[in-house]
Amino acid sequence: MFIIPALVLYGQSLSLNDLFAITLLTPPKFDSYILEHGFVDAGKDYQGDTVVNLFNCRRIINEPGKLITTINKSLSRYNVTGESLITYQTEDFNEFLQIKQQVKSAGFLCYANDSIISSGVLYQKNDLSVYVFTMDSDSAKQYAFRVKRKMLPKVKSVRFAEDLLQFTSHEYLAYVFGEKNVKKDVYFFSENELAKCSVLFLNTDRQAVFLWEDGENNCTLSNLLIGGQQMLKSSLENNSFVSQNNWRLKNGMHAGMTLYELRMLNGQDFKFYSGNSDHTGMVLSDISGKVNFDQQGVILGCMNCRDSKFMTTSVMSAEEAIGEQRILFILSIILSPITASHNLNP
């Protein structure tokens, strides 16, 4: 009569709040926290040049009248600059359902099918994202939550156009700049080719267009567009016009800069596509000068380039155009994010 039905646990279950709390911890505090939850150090792994710290846990359930059940869990912490990233895996389906319901109840935004049992789904809120997915292992199906907390800057520290490359989702932009200052839109490359985008400070001299590689979830930055009359659905519908753009790059480059100023900034000659090309005005990719035209794409506008020589030439040099007194200037700038060696997105 003194026998009490027992549930023996080695390794506690983690809640969504536990996972969020972990992303705020320094490595020493992180180790202490998860040791208290029954995890042990399992060494290191590498994804590209990203170091991944591994921790394992075994949960043993012993209930009277039932077979002893062993559930394996693991936690991975990624050493990534600018964000705190962990992945939690469990074999416990009920735990998976509980945490996923906690994500939904916490008000995270999801653009895909977010039924309680669906996987491969991204949830976003403020500076946090949770990617829910499953994996098949030799022993049992693994249910996983990849939690990322982005270290985002304060508005006052965003001074240069390159600073905007830190914002890799619509939710990050809305969290820092305010929802009223960020609009979802569609960008037209051509009549049949388009992409989802977000526009910061639409129709102002601080407008910036973020093109998303993942259009479904409005995240993963493909390109950042500064200046020019961008082919936005909202602009085409309202016939809006932005006369100038005040964003500057760290090297001083900006929309409206003359071709001569750009040539001096680069420190050497460069080439651009002229009239007899499908890419008229685009500066050819070149990293030999002071301007990296590979990551900092430039499209030139011209006020006196309708003559036969220009229209029948495919490529022209900056010095040649300056010598012919052509009035060329930077129409728009295309910034490309530096691709990290790890591929841990979402």
Q: CA torsion angle for 220, 44, 46, 85 (degrees, to 10)?
A: 10
How does DSSP assign 97-131, residue by residue? HHHHHHHHHTT-B-SS---TT--SEEEEETTEEEE
Does the bond joining 346 to the residue before it have cis omega, within 30 degrees of 0?
yes
What distance in Å separates the CA atoms of residue 293 and residue 50, rounded to the nearest whole number? Answer: 28
Contacts of 83 (CB under 8 A, 6+ apart): 148, 149, 150, 151
pLDDT in tens, 249-293: 999 999 999 999 999 999 999 999 999 999 999 999 999 999 999
pLDDT in tens, 97-145: 999 999 999 999 998 877 766 678 999 999 999 999 998 877 788 999 9
What distance in Å separates the CA atoms of residue 58 and residue 70, rounded to the nearest whole number? Answer: 7
What distance in Å separates the CA atoms of residue 13 and residue 65, rounded to the nearest whole number? Answer: 23
The pLDDT, as a whole number, for residue 2 is: 35
Q: Please report where in the chains the tokens 């520290």 appear, as a residue.
A: 157
What distance in Å separates the CA atoms of residue 192 and residue 318, rounded to the nearest whole number? Answer: 33
Beta bridge pairs of residue 218: none
The pLDDT, as a whole number, for residue 302 is: 96
How does DSSP assign 20-75, residue by residue? HHHTTS-HHHHHHHHHHTT-EEEEEEEETTEEEEEEEEEEEE--TTS--EEEEEEE
User: How many other C-beta atoms are found inside a 10 Å radius of the C-beta of residue 57?
Assistant: 22
What distance in Å separates the CA atoms of residue 301 and residue 93, rounded to the nearest whole number? Answer: 58
8 A C-beta contact, residue 204 and residue 242: yes
Q: Is the dihedral of CA 231, 181, 24, 21 positive or negative?
A: negative
Q: What is the residue-level pLDDT of the chain in tens, covering all 346 positions?
A: 333 333 334 456 789 999 999 999 998 899 889 888 889 999 999 988 899 999 998 766 656 665 555 778 999 999 998 999 999 999 999 999 999 999 999 999 998 877 766 678 999 999 999 999 998 877 788 999 999 999 999 999 999 999 999 999 999 999 999 999 999 999 998 888 899 999 999 999 999 999 999 999 999 999 999 998 788 988 877 766 666 899 999 999 999 999 999 999 999 999 999 999 999 999 999 999 999 999 999 999 999 999 999 999 999 999 999 999 999 999 999 999 875 434 455 5
Beta bridge pairs of residue 109: 124
What are the strands, taking DSSP E only, across 80-200? 83-90, 121-125, 128-136, 141-150, 182-188, 194-200
Contacts of 39 (CB under 8 A, 6+ apart): 11, 55, 56, 57, 73, 75
User: How many other C-beta atoms are found inside a 10 Å radius of the C-beta of residue 290?
Assistant: 11
